Amino acid sequence: MTLSPQEASAKALEICQLAPIIPVLVVEDVSRAASLARALVKGGLPALEVTLRTADALAVITKMSKVEGGVVGAGTLLTPDDVKRARDAGATFGVSPGATDKLLTAAEDVGLPMLPGAVTASEVMALLERGYDMLKFFPASTSGGAPAIKNLGGPLQAVKFCPTGGVSPSNATEYLSLSNVVCAGGSWVAPGNLVKAEKWDDITALAAAAAALPR
């Protein structure tokens, strides 16, 4: 099923509205994938971004996509082939650090809702012109942070953002307080040491704290 840019962006918005934080996950061990997903979903974070930065990322997506209540997406999509492989693995949405016409067309053709990245007014305007109004703001911390997103909201009021990159418990509330921020992406809810130690209750507690953040 193909999606128009408007349909793809509307579906991405629905996913972003599920919780204040989307965990950004780099998972090395497939055997821990399902347990990690269950811990995060139990804590109130159903939308999960698995970055394609490890050899087994696609297998992780497949495992996590079978966890009840989870909405699993693929991050770090850079090429049309990434899009196809992510969709085939079971991803229900995609995230990219930026955006190209080839990448977006590939996602639309296979019906994969996309959260494309943008940080400048020109990048935002180009995506808005195509039909995307739910965007990733990346890298957030080195691109002006919350003040930059707030200022973009003046002339570009139709656009909503999910800031990612440098978002932490200490600054998440600042981002989430903005009227043009729907959610934020963060990795702190699934730290590598807790995943390796299989401390699933601790991860659930971190997820619950993130899910309770005001927005």
pLDDT of residue 111: 98
pLDDT of residue 1: 86
> Which three-class secondary structure state does DSSP give residue 15?
helix
- Check 11, 42, 136, 160 and give the catalytic one: 136
Tell if the pTM clears 0.95, that is, is over it.
yes
* 165 dihedral zone (left: phi>0; alpha: psi -120 to 50; beta): left
Q: For residue 136, indicate whether it is catalytic.
A: yes
pLDDT of residue 162: 98
- Check 49, 63, 108, 160 and give the catalytic one: 49
* CB burial string 20-37: b at 16+ within 10 A, e below: bbbbbbbbeebebbbbbb
**CA distance linking residue 32 with residue 179, whole number of Å:** 36
Side-chain half-sphere CA neighbours of 6 within 13 A? 2
pLDDT of residue 169: 97
User: What are the residue ranges in the chain where pLDDT is below 50?
Assistant: none
Closest to 5 in 3D by CA, of 119, 153, 155, 112:
112
pLDDT of residue 180: 98
pLDDT of residue 30: 97
Segment 115-159, tens digit of pLDDT = 999 999 999 999 999 999 999 999 999 999 999 999 999 999 999
